[in-house]
Chain A
Amino acid sequence: MASDNTVGAVLVAGGGVAGMQASLDLANAGYYVYLVEKSLAIGGRMSQLDKTFPTNDCSMCIISPKLVEVGRHINIELLTLTDILSIEGEEGNFTVKARKNPRYIDMSKCIACGECTKKCPKKLNNEYNENLDTRKAIYVQYAQAVPLKYGIDAKECIYLTKGKCGNCKKVCPADAVNYDDKPEDISLKVGSVILAPGFAPFKPSDFETYRYYDAKDVITALEFERYLGATGPTMGHVIRPSDHSDPKKIAFLQCVGSRDINRTDHGYCSSVCCMYAIKEAIIAKEHAGGNLDVTIFYMDIRTFGKDFERYYEKAKAAGIKFVRSRVHTVQPEPQNGVMIHYITDGGVSNQEFFDVAVLSHGLVITGETKKLSDELELETDHYNFAKTSTFAPVALSRPGFYACGVFTGPKDIPTSVMEASAAAAASTTKLTSARSTLTKVIHLPAPVDVSGEPPRIGVFICHCGINIASVVDVPKVVEFAKTLPFVEYATNTIFACSQDSQDKLVSLIKEYRLNRIVVSACSPRTHEPLFQETLASAGLNKYLYEMANIRNHDSWVHAGHPAEATRKAMDMTEMAVAKAALLVPLKENIIDVDPTALVIGGGVAGLNTALTLSSQGFKSVIVEKSDKTGGNANRIHSTPKGESVPEYLESLKKKVEEDPNITLILNSQVNKADGYVGNFVSTLSTGEEIKHGVTIIATGALEHKPSEYFYGKNPNVLTQLELDELIKANDPRLNDAKNYVFIQCVGSREPDRLYCSKVCCTHTVHAAIELKKRKPEARIFVLYRDIRTYAQKEDLYKEARSLGVIFVRYDLDAKPEVLEEDGHLKIKAFDPVSGHVLVLSPDFLVLAAAMVSGNECELAMQFKVPLDQDGWFFEAHQKLRPVDFATDGIFMAGICHYPKPMEEVIAQAQAAAARAATVLIQPKMTVGGIVAEINQNKCSGCGVCVSVCPYNAISLDDKGKAVVNEALCKGCGNCASSCRSDAPSLRGFTNAGLFAQIASAL
């Protein structure tokens, strides 16, 4: 126990993807988590998405393993339907008062069979599908919801409002309905609080302009997303809502409720709409088989993230039209469709008919969230986003309160996930003394050794109330099971998952000395872990278990064919028994973890990672190539929020130098890297050998040296960082300068460097404001392609314009022309608005040069981690694992991953520390279970398994034979299917086991 009164628990408010990630990182780092969610289930907005950009990953597919992980985590207490009432106390020791609202369903009894919903007579708007179809008064939020438990909408339930009906209670086979459920007030002790309340989509209904309130064929992008979704109201079929016909032409209207101070007071950019519009356009075109015209009406296309620009180009190549314009009128046509009236940036007025107009609505902080901020005395900005500083991007104004996700500004999923991990780290820096004091550990009895025993299989056939038994003849399946080889005991059970059935299972295992268990019930995807825990509690190795899914895959889908369904249930049980007979206990091994981190790169990212790790009590070694720390930040004058970077850097470096947990090694780099998660050994160029449990790559990036626009030839042509250095040094040359021209996208967004460098627009606008403030009479022109001052940075763009900075757009095929006359710069730029060529003679030409990767091929090879085609380090998953490499124990932070502004760099650094902490916290790590193993007698050493392993888990040993590193193997089985001589075998899914299943299927 901690000697002080620090509490080793954290409150996470909001069960969206950010809240879930924060909870997992906290719980895996030794803190108990209360995850509070207002609604029936976690999953948040992401659960509503069909696909995610820029990979077009299926949203539900990637989020559902996380849902399950959160739902089952022993150290995450999920409090659904819960409202926070108050939070008192101070960092380290808060008391949270919350109200658990009644669900009217006993969660321990509900088996989510859905009988209640079938019989509920009340039809209501289905919020999950944006009210495009209906749900009942008793419902689950969505089919894959966690917890997968029904709930009653008390305001609408006929019984709860009028005392009549009661259908659900009558039909519930598990007796889970409880109309007398009452609100319950609870009090929680936590050390810190993470707020992740998310956003609401902007509601266009209040604004006449968009005609959303009355035109059927004007819909929001989230509605369109649901139309695209396979689980949506039309099951993925895009329709024209007015007549349900197939639309031929669809328009997207960008910036609805964003970048708009005339009508909505939302001056900020919502950051994600350009990308989601492109995504929806691409998917819609795919769904329509190409027979669809899509036009996107926009002001600036803001595809600033990793791989976004390529996505934009792909959309253009796919025939999606992009029209730079202002739409001024949306006019519904008499029958169907809408007429869009717009003005191009050349000033031409136009109109065009579309079947459907999709409003790309922005992200909004709700009144409820604003109220929460006020009640908790958290500072917010004028858009109601919670305030943070650049240097502490997830810390809120009140100590002990942290944030992640859209609460602090509009952002996409990976940035939210990064912040979530960062918040997990930041929120626990003051709680380390109480780490692991409140977390639970499962204590299991010593495992019974069953090796050498012949299989004695116990088979349990579940009725699932009437869910299975009403279709499948369960007794017949039981009798059949008794005849199968090695079956020692077979029985039926009403609810296999109920506590009494589990207890019975334990006693039967002992009584009949059962050493393999088969349960024919529901899906292993949801229930296998539960039964495995029961096996373990009976002393049986949890891998001696097999499941037959006779509910989801049988009784529920063959209700009309009971005889065939029974036959199928028998076959499925036989298949499971056949596989079970060949199962062997799987060992889980313990490996040591070296509790030290190696941080490669001593820039802002590296230093922050090391400091965050140190605050968690972990040692790190920073290896820096140059003779000083700070990296690119040494050249930066101030942040767009106006904070001084030199002052920050000075204190950061000092903290690092004084930190006893941090060893800084300058003028060195990694020459050789060996080992794996928990046990790396790296040799530095200094000859020093470092043992470390995790590796964080934070090697930064470089400013591109332009080869155009007289850069390097004329002393008055500068890059952004060079200008910053002049500003920082108060260089006298600036005093005399009156005219500046900035050229954007120098080396970015061009065919051979097809990405946006993300920071340059904001940097230019910020510098222009600074110069204007220093000398208001200065004339500043910015030549740009799209201004990408995303999120609240849009305010700077507005400020620059109001200060008189002139923005002139150019196209890639008509780039500005720079000439030199007698040493003086002369710039010719075509202005598409006026149609004239402007001739400018600036004192300084500032180039927004691209950020380019540091060419880290060698480092990538040493640690066997990938680079993407632009040279950035490539993360394990672009959406949900933005800090991790696919190889366990290696993480990344900062601009070696992709260009990003300093607040995002620091967030990613803290996130990397949080992710690393989940490894370093474990003195011993359990590995094994369902992993591959190699029979070296069969191995020819050809290396095909090494090539196809997605996790670098296989290598050839000194005898040239393959060997699996169990710490890295994730059990995909790619090796086992690729080897010609079947040397690798995937435990739990062996060839013999699968063959037995095939044989008994036929």
Chain B
Amino acid sequence: MSEFEPKIVAFFCNWCTYGAADLAGVSRLEYPPNFRVVRLPCTGRLNPKFILEAFKRGADGVWVSGCHPGDCHYIAGNYYARRKFIVMHYMLDSIGLEADRLRFSWISSAEATKFQHMATDVVEHVRACGPNLKFRKAPLILGMEEVA
């Protein structure tokens, strides 16, 4: 495969988008295999540092998805998260991260097709951005990596 295959880290909340991904599986809805999912209890758990860490380590894209506003399993977790996303989004956009590298979405556990379309769309947009060369750490030459 000569085409560039992007690596994408996805952060899903357990109750909605992770469930939608499960349902997409049950329904055998195919989508590109380019992302790896980190399961969170709630998008409210998403520390902005996680997004930066993924890019720093060389992710070509990051996708964050949770319950629709109002559907949060933890009453209001995604409302607080949304405010963090807003600040994060404008910050990264302002300093010149290509908008298509970072996706936020709301996908309920019943929306398997939305999940499939979104997954495909995320991968296509990140692919179009090309490899993340600017917003990542230079590889360490020394053998000792930082302790994770």
Chain A contact residues, CB within 8 Å of chain B: 50, 55-62, 64-65, 112, 114, 143-144, 229-231, 235-236, 523-526, 549, 551-554, 556-561, 564-565, 567-568, 571-572, 575, 578, 876-877, 886, 930, 948, 950-951, 970-974, 976-978, 986, 989, 991-992, 994-999, 1001-1002
Contacts and interface: CB of A to CB of B under 8 A. Distances in A.
Nearest to B79: A950
Nearest to B74: A972
B106 to A, nearest CB: 10
Contacts of A575: 36, 38
Contacts of A996: 148
B84 A1002 contact: no
A948 B83 CA distance: 12
Contacts of A564: 33
Nearest to A579: B38
Interface in B1-53: 7, 9, 14-16, 18-19, 21-31, 33, 36-42, 44-50, 53
Contact of B70 (A55, A950, A1001): A55
Given A57-B71, A948-B80, A977-B45, A231 B112 contact: yes
Contact of B22 (A552, A971, A972): A552
Contacts of B80: 948, 974, 978
| B23, B46, B110, B114: most-surrounded residue (chain A CB, <10 A) | B110
Contacts of A995: 50, 53, 148
B68 interface: yes
Contacts of A972: 41-42, 44-45, 73-74, 77
B108 A60 contact: yes
Contact of A950 (B29, B37, B40, B77): B77
Contacts of B28: 114, 556-557, 559
7 contacts: A230-B114, A568-B36, A575-B38, A972-B41, A972-B73, A978-B84, A995-B148
Interface string B47-71: 1111001100111000000011011
Contacts of A978: 80, 84
B111 interface: yes
B89 to A, nearest CB: 15
B76 interface: yes
B57 A1002 contact: yes
Contact of A558 (B33, B39, B67, B75): B33
Contact of B25 (A551, A876, A948, A998): A551
Question: Would you list the 7 A-B pairs with minimal beta carbon distance, nearest first?
Answer: A973-B45, A552-B25, A972-B74, A1001-B36, A974-B44, A556-B25, A58-B108
Contacts of B31: 557
A1002 B47 contact: no
Contacts of A930: 41
B54 A64 contact: no
A1001 B38 contact: yes
A105 B25 CA distance: 22
B58 A230 contact: no
A577 to B, nearest CB: 12
Contact of B18 (A235, A525, A568): A525
A65 B73 contact: yes
A61 B26 contact: no
B23 A565 contact: no
Contact of A1002 (B49, B54, B70, B81): B54
Contact of A976 (B25, B39, B45): B45
Contacts of B71: 57-58, 61-62
A558 B71 CA distance: 29
A671 B18 CA distance: 45
B75 A999 contact: no
B65 to A, nearest CB: 13
Interface of B: 7, 9, 14-16, 18-19, 21-31, 33, 36-42, 44-50, 53-54, 57-59, 67-68, 70-71, 73-77, 80-81, 84, 108-114, 148
A65 B25 contact: no
Contact of B41 (A236, A557, A986, A1001): A986
A973 B40 contact: yes
A52 B105 CA distance: 21
Contact of B42 (A62, A571, A974): A974
Contacts of B37: 549, 553, 572
Nearest to A979: B47
B38 A557 contact: no
Contacts of B58: 1002
B148 to A, nearest CB: 5
A917 B33 CA distance: 49
Nearest to B46: A977
Nearest to B119: A557
A891 B73 CA distance: 19
A805 to B, nearest CB: 42
Nearest to B18: A525
Contacts of A1001: 7, 9, 36, 38, 54, 59
Given A972-B44, A974-B42, A986-B45, A64 B75 contact: no
Contacts of B27: 143
| B21, B49, B109, B111: most-surrounded residue (chain A CB, <10 A) | B109
A524 B39 contact: yes
A571 B34 CA distance: 11
A525 B24 contact: no
Given A526-B22, A559-B30, 10 more contacts: A56-B70, A58-B110, A61-B16, A61-B67, A567-B33, A575-B38, A973-B77, A978-B80, A997-B38, A1002-B59
B29 A557 contact: yes
B75 A886 contact: yes
Given A525-B18, A525-B22, A997-B38, A1002 B9 contact: yes
Given A578-B148, A1002-B58, A971 B41 contact: yes
B38 to A, nearest CB: 5
Contacts of B45: 972-974, 976-977, 986, 989
A996 B73 CA distance: 26
Nearest to B47: A977
A997 B57 CA distance: 12
Contacts of B29: 557
A557 B109 contact: no
Nearest to A992: B148
A886 B75 CA distance: 8
A472 to B, nearest CB: 11
Given A556-B25, A999-B57, A989 B41 contact: yes
B111 A572 contact: no
B33 A568 contact: yes
A579 to B, nearest CB: 9
Nearest to B53: A998
Contacts of A886: 75
A997 B12 CA distance: 13
| B28, B29, B81, B108: most-surrounded residue (chain A CB, <10 A) | B108
A507 to B, nearest CB: 29
B76 A950 contact: yes
A64 B109 CA distance: 9
A61 B19 contact: yes
Contacts of A556: 25-26, 28
A977 B148 contact: no
B67 to A, nearest CB: 7
A230 B125 CA distance: 24
Contact of B36 (A62, A64, A559, A572): A572
A482 to B, nearest CB: 21
Nearest to A114: B26
Nearest to A232: B110
B108 A230 contact: yes
Given A973-B44, A974-B45, A977-B46, A61 B108 contact: yes
A876 B16 contact: no
B88 to A, nearest CB: 11
A525 B36 contact: no
B70 to A, nearest CB: 5
A413 to B, nearest CB: 15
Contacts of A58: 16, 67-68, 71, 108-111
B110 A229 contact: yes
